[in-house]
Structure 1
Amino acid sequence: MTASEIRQQFLDFFASKGHQIVPSAPIVIKNDPTLMFTNAGMNQFKDYFLGNRVPPHKRVADTQKCLRVSGKQNDLEEVGIDTYHHTMFEMLGNWSFGDYFKKEAIAMSWELLTEVYKIPKDKLYVTVFEGDAKENIPKDDEAYQFWKEHIAEDRILMGNKKDNFWEMGDMGPCGPCSEIHVDCRPDEERKLVDGKTLVNADHPQVIEIWNNVFMQFNRQKDGSLVPLPAKHVDTGMGLERLVRVLQNKTSNYDTDLFTNTIHFTEKLVNKKYTFGDDKKDVAFRVIADHVRAISFTIADGQLPSNTGAGYVIRRILRRAVRYYFSFLDVRKPLLHEIVPVLAAQFSNVFPELEAQVDFVKKVIFEEENNFLRTLESGIRRIEDFMQQAATKVIDGATAFELNDTYGFPLDLTNLIAAEKGFTVDEKGFEAAMQQQKDRSRAATELDTGDWVVLDETPNSIFVGYEQLESTTKLLKYRTIKAKGKEQFQLVISQTPFYAESGGQVGDTGTLQFDDETIHVVDTKKENNLTILFTDKLPANPAAVVKAKVDKVKRLDTERHHSATHLLHAALRQVLGTHVAQKGSLVNADALRFDFSHFAKVTDEELAQIEAIVNAKIRENVPVVIKEMPKDEALKLGAMALFGEKYGDTVRVVIIDPAYSVELCGGTHVGATGELGLFKFVSESAVAAGVRRVEAVTGSKAEAYISEQLAQLKDMKAALKNPKDPVKAVETLLQDKSSLEKQVDALEQEKVRALASSLRNQSEQIDGVNFLGKVVHVNNAEGLKQLSLQLKNDIPDHVLIFAANIGGKASIALTIDEKLVASKGWEAPKIIKERIAPLIKGGGGGQKTFATAGGQEVDKLDQVISAVKQLL
């Protein structure tokens, strides 16, 4: 069976058991501060487990794109080294929300594996939670008894809390789990060693294939466990491992989930994959795994960057580049070439990649290109270090710098070091890495208290589309501490406050408890829970609450949000239908809109887009908002954003059906005329293939134009009010350029005269012609030119010139090549050790010529003396 057939059999089986088949959620997590990426199949159903939402179906099944780059047995640096770990993988899952429980889940998993997939029963083992006396959690006798109905008792193994008790986090739903393991060893080996001794022992051929999690507890902040009112089933089976078992392979990478990619890569690099463990074969596996992760994550809306989730994607991409650079001898971008192969392979199950294949290719190509340049810089850095090192050891701080600045992992630094007979201080590296982790942890540490529940109503109802005030009650609250600051999170029954979502910022306002006013400083979503952030708690939490949104801020925000819809349609009209939204920020002050486009938007195009938007504003088109089934909305032509998770019923914002129809949960104006005016503020690049425009509407646009006109008025006044200010500025710039050329010519003449006067002033010290002077030049280039003019006239030279340039110390040091070779003197080293400390600065350069700058201009004579003393 092919992987596609195996996946479909799973979905068909559970559909026959009354499960609703649902699509995969995006791999990029939104509205959940505890996660960056979907790392388990249950993530999209978290609200149901937490009781924040009522599930529309009691039984569901799916295949979910997941990304794991840390945690139990999923360290990024292990991927590709072994045969079964991955960054991105597919998690097949079936779910029961308060419907069936252990008996049915166990029976269905056994039926699918043994009767549908025909896995021999004598290759299977199951594990059951053995209990934990310390936490007073009993053994899972229920699961044990149910398993006895299907499998021999000696194949039911006891598992500890680490392996057989699942927890969502430090707090929240949890429960025992029952894993199914398969022994893939050849029959001869299975006869020699009993497979039960290899379960959960990291044996590459005795692997976990399925996990049945039975959610029956809720863990409190103090660690105690409280039974859940409704018990749930959460299961997961890695498609990659299942396909490996059913296709009788010894490695996940030998299945047809990866062989297409590997064969295509073989052609690109003109090398063969030999199914081994050498670095070349590891590189093939790393590429096959990592290109999936980065492609699907970018398609779901997460661009590589230097922070957060974007940094994780950049790190995965760079690891793949390092492997093909180091072990496949590839020096040009490679990964982007594989994207169309992946898109075609997964088009029937994850069509979002095929829909954006050109965009994803472009982003990956640019990222590869940039990192290949960084790699070359890093290699030069490590080679410079080794040339100057006093010992054959790369210290931990330098190894960490190579990792942090140039993206060199420790293994790559070790590889380059070994080739030159060097070793790396790995303990020092680990210490530096730990310090960075500690700093990051301290910066993001969040201490969240338990919810204090006043009312068991599951969640608040949002009424903010229709009204900005409501009379309501407080349902629950909790305390949070971040960076030493205490805040509070409140949930109210009926909330007019819009929670940050879809690029629109959260509302602010007030909560009135009796005579006490509590200020709401932000509103966010945690999964589907609308949370109000405040700086204090009410004295009487049980009082009736009058909730009031800041109306001015909300209305300004709505204008900017509606403007993004007008803008999106105009961008597609002027630039082309390839334009797709890649991010936005909408607040009371401005809008920011990121979109896919491969070239700078010209001033003429911006003017055209602006004119279209303003024409729609003047038409005063009604903004019509309807709720309808998602399929009906898509037939209507509604724009859906990649990376967003939509329900069966969606909210559609229509601004003239022939102009703009988008799925959107944000708040909007009643008609376009309320925007008043739309004006661009800036256009720039964000990432490869992504442009950003910023704009303002309404009173903010008026204020911006008034400011621009005031600046123009001041400029005209400074130019004596010319009739044509543009021509006056052009004349001014031409005059400036002409004067600068004259100044440069005079400076060069001055340097030539200075060089002539110094040519015969060198003194010989131990066979070296030394010339050191504090000179008067206007810029650092003058020092450089002075050194160049004198070095050819003075053999065996050491030249040191210092100057006070704009109140800063500026130094140029030149050493004859013969002296570099015979005496081992190097200009950058002398700058670093003898000059930089004196002037409180730094510098660098080539072995024969280096420069420095610093704060201490009164130490210039000491600089000259320090170099002279060296001789």
Structure 2
Amino acid sequence: MQTADIRQRWLDFFAERGHTVVPSASLVSDDPTLLFTVAGMVPFVPYLTGLVPAPYPRATSVQKCIRTNDIEEVGKTPRHGTFFQMSGNFSFGDYFKEGAISMAWELLTTPEADGGYGFDRDDLWVTVYEDDDEAIELWKKVADLPDERIQRLGKDTNYWHTGQPGPAGPCSEIFFDRGPEYGIDGGPATDDDRYVEIWNLVFMQYLIDDVQSKTDFRIVKELPKKNIDTGMGLERVAFIKQGVDNMYEIDQVRPVLDRAAELSGRRYGANHDDDVRMRVIADHVRSALMLMSDGVSPSNEGRGYILRRLLRRSIRAMRLLGVEGPTFRELFAASRDAMKSAYPEVAHDYAHIEQLALGEEETFLRTLTAGTSILDLAVSKTKDSGRGQLAGDTAFLLHDTYGFPIELTLEMADEAGLAVDRAAFDTLMTEQRSRAKADAKSKKKVLADLSVYADFRAKGETIFTGYTELSTASTVLGLLVDGRPVPFATAGQTAEVILAETSLYAESGGQAPDQGRIVGDGFELEVLDVQKPIKGLISHTVKVTSGEVGVGVPATTLVDEQYRRGATQAHSGTHLVHAALRQVLGPNAHQSGSFNKAGYLRLDYGWNSALSAETRSEIEEISNAAIRDNLEVVTREMPLDEAKSLGAMALFGEKYGEVVRVVDIGGPWSRELCAGTHVSTSAEVGMINIVGESSVGASNRRVESLVGLDAFRRFASERALVSELTSSLKTRPDQLVDRVGELVSSLKAAEKRIQQFEARALNDRVPALAAKAVRTGDVLLVAETVGSLGAGDELRSLATSVRSQLGDAASVVALTAEVGGKPVAIVATSPAARDAGANAGALAKTMAGVLGGGGGGKPDLAQGGGSDLAAIPAALDAVRSALRG
């Protein structure tokens, strides 16, 4: 039974039993506490917890999931996968235990010919929470299971909760017995690979608090509306039904494994270590493909870091299989072909996905060789010193300079029989992050714990009127101060305000929140931020500038008209620049992110090389030509499938509901799905002035532009600058470039002549300095200060020239100078002086210590410095004393 068939049977079965089929949510979770969607129930958490009213009584889905906490186990066990699909059925106060158990058993044991999975009843075991007698009786009633195939287990395995106060309940898990060839008898309680968990039924029936751990909490009461949350692992059922030993060998994964074997020339099944590497590659390539299809790009932070780690572990595994060249083109194509029937978007977006993957591979292959050399050298030195731990600063260097994830360094060190000083590495990482955060203070206010919004959301969705109105009369539904509900807020306080309606745009889709005010009888609030803390609810962070605002009073939202005009110009301008990029570069220049606010736009797009000045000008000209042509801007709402059929662009990685808003500029010239605010005609954008283009990672570029009046001001300031330069240089604007070029050439020629003059002047000083050599101990010593110099290199050159002037004699030259207001010392020694025991590095260090600094170097030439110019005579005396000694 193919994986796609298993998936479709699930959806058909539950759809026939009154469940709403819900498409898989993105792997990028809406939950701010999660990097990824880690379980099938994650998109339904607001409904299961009552935070948001459920739009249907029962639902079913096959949800894409990513988990990375067990990444080290990938390839080593039959069931650990980074990307996996969780089939789930959910009840929101509808059916409960008996319904969940009955439907699970029916689907599993119904013959394949009748639409079920056809499992033999004798191969199935169940576990229940040890105190859940009701579930045990239901299993006996529904499935006629004997007592020995129903096992009671504790809270650590068979009780579910979020780790926070809220809903919770016992679980019942269904296991498949693979047979005695896979392990010992005894059922799931043995925790053996023989028994594979395929389905988990969560009976969400209690409210808990005082949560200390997974097993330590207090049950407060039964929930008035009990919920069902279940999950069946699609890959686990697939490898059982396809008769293979693990999830890496199923139809959606095996093609990548086979391609890795073919590229490496090694046979799967011949060597355990090679088998693990091939399974890692198959898992990670598929996981990376699915992450990138949901808009994640490789980076050094958050989700992008996880993706980068998966890609680099794949490259590393291929190298351990003996393949040092690029392989992603073949591996990703194999994964695309295996996954596209279930997820057509991987084929539709493949050009962009491949571009990201190949760019990351090219970058890492370049750095891997250099980084590996450094690591190999560090490993060798560590072993030679008799230590068993690689230094933390070496691991940090590999991470910071060569892009090695710490996990890769840990793996490679472990292969060499070494540990890594992880504590020292973490300290260095913390220091680096602290430095970065010191310069990046965000204006964003921390929103309250999401649970406090449940009562507000239960009153309905916040109505946004801002597409057509800048002022809206509303009512204050709630107030929060420091994350807690309050009856009123007074002058000087910062609060969150929940309204029934608002004309103020909440930050989303790359558009910054509106600026404005909220006013009412006797109060005025300055709007600091507008956000959507949960689906359907808008929260306004405000400062109470006067009066007192209370819950239930009338209030009017007032959008700053000038700011909104600038914001709409910038958002429509983003669409214009995106259309121009695609017109010039082609469809692969797909937007991957954006940010716009009044007067400014930033657009990230898939591309792997910098734009030439000519290309940048062409994009800018096309954008401004669209403004000149005064194209009509039309917005419409329609079903997502209809919008896509019209050619509306769904931006890479963005999430959309079933009904979407389509923004046309000039008809199909620019047609995108977008919920932002826009101008009525393109002429209202005013002007586009592209001011920057840069790299933001492998195969991703960023273009920045000023818009409207801000764009004009930049042009005006540049015009004033040109006018000033032409006046100063007494030339015409069209000759300015040539005139500046002439001046630069003249300046370079003058600098060269000055350098030649200074070199001759320094050379002229050599004989006089050499003549000052005096016998000191066993050597001739020149210990002099030469005044002020422009650079330390000049002092170095002077010292080596004096040493040469003294010929084969045992000589030491110790010179000091003032460079940039600080003392610098250079020591040069001849071979004969070194034979006599003189060491330039030691002498430079001695001088630097007197000067209040540090220094050192090689025995023949070394440098030091400090901060105390007055100590120069004492530093020279220190050299004389050292040599006499």
Out of 469, 472, 475, the residue aligned to residue 474 of structure 2 is 472
Out of 779, 793, 801, the residue aligned to residue 791 of structure 2 is 779
Correspondence 1:35-114 to 2 at 5 A? 35-49=34-48, 51=50, 57-70=56-69, 74=70, 76-114=71-109
Indicate the residue corresponding to 2:189 in structure 1: 197
CA RMSD of aligned residues (A): 4.3
Query: Given that residues 46 and 527 in structure 1 are in contact (C-alpha distance below 8 angstroms), is that contact kept between their aligned partners in structure 2?
Result: no
Indicate the residue corresponding to 1:505 in structure 2: 512
Output the CA distance in 1 between the equivalents of 2:329 and 2:840: 42
Give the secondary-structure state (helix, strand or coil) at the position aligned to 1:41. Answer: coil
Out of 154, 158, 173, the residue aligned to residue 179 of structure 1 is 173
Query: Given that residues 371 and 398 in structure 2 are in contact (C-alpha distance below 8 angstroms), is that contact kept between their aligned partners in structure 1?
Result: no
Distance 1:725 1:61, change over 3 A: same
Output the CA distance in 2 between the equivalents of 1:43 and 1:488: 29
Distance 1:813 1:562, change over 3 A: farther
Q: Deviations over 1:826-863 (max 9, x none)?
A: 96x999x8788777878898898776776666666777
Q: Name the amino acid aligned to 2:194.
A: Q
Distance 1:184 1:664, change over 3 A: same
2:591 is the counterpart of 1:581: yes
Indicate the residue corresponding to 1:291 in structure 2: 285
Give the secondary-structure state (helix, strand or coil) at the position aligned to 1:181. Answer: strand
Give the secondary-structure state (helix, strand or coil) at the position aligned to 1:585. Answer: strand
Q: Name the amino acid aligned to 2:44.
A: F
Shift of 1:194: 0.9
Out of 189, 195, 215, the residue aligned to residue 206 of structure 1 is 195
Distance 1:592 1:847, change over 3 A: farther
Query: Given that residues 477 and 551 in structure 2 are in contact (C-alpha distance below 8 angstroms), is that contact kept between their aligned partners in structure 1?
Result: no
Distance 1:840 1:701, change over 3 A: farther
Output the CA distance in 2 between the equivalents of 1:824 and 1:371: 46
Q: How many residues align?
A: 846
Q: Deviations over 1:42-67 (max 9, x none)?
A: 33334434556555554433322212
Query: Given that residues 339 and 357 in structure 1 are in contact (C-alpha distance below 8 angstroms), is that contact kept between their aligned partners in structure 2?
Result: no
Correspondence 1:738-757 to 2 at 5 A? 738-750=749-761, 752-753=763-764
2:445 is the counterpart of 1:448: no
Q: Name the amino acid aligned to 2:740.
A: V
Output the CA distance in 1 between the equivalents of 2:207 and 2:305: 33
Q: Deviations over 1:229-255 (max 9, x none)?
A: 644332222222222222333332233
Shift of 1:261: 1.2
Output the CA distance in 2 between the equivalents of 1:844 and 1:84: 57
For structure 1, the 5+ residue unaligned runs are: 131-138
Query: Given that residues 595 and 691 in structure 1 are in contact (C-alpha distance below 8 angstroms), is that contact kept between their aligned partners in structure 2?
Result: yes
2:321 is the counterpart of 1:328: yes
Q: Name the amino acid aligned to 2:744.
A: L
Output the CA distance in 1 between the equivalents of 2:420 and 2:833: 31
Q: Deviations over 1:416-451 (max 9, x none)?
A: 5885x9765567667878999999999999873852
Indicate the residue corresponding to 2:121 in structure 1: 121
Output the CA distance in 2 between the equivalents of 1:590 and 1:197: 61
- Range with bigger deviation, 340-349 or 453-462: 453-462
Output the CA distance in 2 between the equivalents of 1:65 and 1:315: 19
Indicate the residue corresponding to 1:304 in structure 2: 298
Output the CA distance in 1 between the equivalents of 2:576 and 2:741: 36
Q: Deviations over 1:706-736 (max 9, x none)?
A: 2222222333344346563222211111111
Output the CA distance in 2 between the equivalents of 1:672 and 1:397: 56
Indicate the residue corresponding to 1:692 in structure 2: 702
Indicate the residue corresponding to 1:136 in structure 2: none
Output the CA distance in 2 between the equivalents of 1:824 and 1:425: 38
Correspondence 1:754-765 to 2 at 5 A? none
Query: Given that residues 51 and 457 in structure 2 are in contact (C-alpha distance below 8 angstroms), is that contact kept between their aligned partners in structure 1?
Result: no
Give the secondary-structure state (helix, strand or coil) at the position aligned to 1:542. Answer: coil
Correspondence 1:144-543 to 2 at 5 A? 144-149=136-141, 150=143, 151-168=145-162, 170=164, 173-186=167-180, 189-190=183-184, 193-198=185-190, 201=191, 203-216=192-205, 230-274=225-269, 277-278=272-273, 280-325=274-319, 327-382=320-375, 391-393=385-387, 394=389, 397-398=392-393, 400-402=395-397, 404-405=399-400, 406=402, 407=404, 409=406, 412=409, 415-416=412-413, 424-425=420-421, 448=449, 451=452, 453=455, 456-480=458-482, 488-528=495-535, 529-535=537-543, 539-543=549-553
Give the secondary-structure state (helix, strand or coil) at the position aligned to 2:668. Answer: coil
Distance 1:449 1:111, change over 3 A: closer
Output the CA distance in 1 between the equivalents of 2:815 and 2:830: 15
For structure 2, the 5+ residue unaligned runs are: 111-115, 212-216, 485-491
Give the secondary-structure state (helix, strand or coil) at the position aligned to 1:561. Answer: helix
Indicate the residue corresponding to 2:692 in structure 1: 682
Output the CA distance in 2 between the equivalents of 1:822 and 1:82: 66
Output the CA distance in 1 between the equivalents of 2:835 and 2:532: 66
Query: Given that residues 378 and 408 in structure 1 are in contact (C-alpha distance below 8 angstroms), is that contact kept between their aligned partners in structure 2?
Result: no
Indicate the residue corresponding to 1:728 in structure 2: 739
Q: Name the amino acid aligned to 2:356.
A: V
Q: Name the amino acid aligned to 1:621.
A: L
After TM superposition, the score normalised by the length of structure 2 is 0.83
Correspondence 1:638-649 to 2 at 5 A? 638-649=648-659
Distance 1:717 1:380, change over 3 A: farther
After TM superposition, the score normalised by the length of structure 1 is 0.84
Q: Deviations over 1:314-342 (max 9, x none)?
A: 233333344444x3344444445411111
Distance 1:345 1:546, change over 3 A: same
Output the CA distance in 2 between the equivalents of 1:841 and 1:369: 43
Output the CA distance in 2 between the equivalents of 1:328 and 1:337: 16
Shift of 1:820: 11
Output the CA distance in 2 between the equivalents of 1:530 and 1:165: 34
Indicate the residue corresponding to 2:113 in structure 1: none
Output the CA distance in 2 between the equivalents of 1:840 and 1:404: 34
Give the secondary-structure state (helix, strand or coil) at the position aligned to 2:550. Answer: coil
Query: Given that residues 478 and 552 in structure 2 are in contact (C-alpha distance below 8 angstroms), is that contact kept between their aligned partners in structure 1?
Result: no
Query: Given that residues 623 and 669 in structure 1 are in contact (C-alpha distance below 8 angstroms), is that contact kept between their aligned partners in structure 2?
Result: yes
Distance 1:112 1:755, change over 3 A: farther
Q: Name the amino acid aligned to 1:518.
A: L
Shift of 1:556: 0.9
Query: Given that residues 563 and 675 in structure 1 are in contact (C-alpha distance below 8 angstroms), is that contact kept between their aligned partners in structure 2?
Result: yes
Q: Deviations over 1:593-613 (max 9, x none)?
A: 112233332333333333332
Distance 1:623 1:301, change over 3 A: same
Report the structure number with the largest CA radius of gyration: 2
Shift of 1:7: 2.8
Q: State the identity %.
A: 35
Q: Name the amino acid aligned to 2:293.
A: A
Output the CA distance in 2 between the equivalents of 1:241 and 1:439: 45
Give the secondary-structure state (helix, strand or coil) at the position aligned to 2:552. Answer: coil
Output the CA distance in 1 between the equivalents of 2:374 and 2:879: 26
Output the CA distance in 2 between the equivalents of 1:89 and 1:844: 57
Shift of 1:29: 3.2
Query: Given that residues 811 and 832 in structure 2 are in contact (C-alpha distance below 8 angstroms), is that contact kept between their aligned partners in structure 1?
Result: no
Give the secondary-structure state (helix, strand or coil) at the position aligned to 1:687. Answer: coil
Query: Given that residues 47 and 54 in structure 2 are in contact (C-alpha distance below 8 angstroms), is that contact kept between their aligned partners in structure 1?
Result: yes
Distance 1:517 1:156, change over 3 A: farther
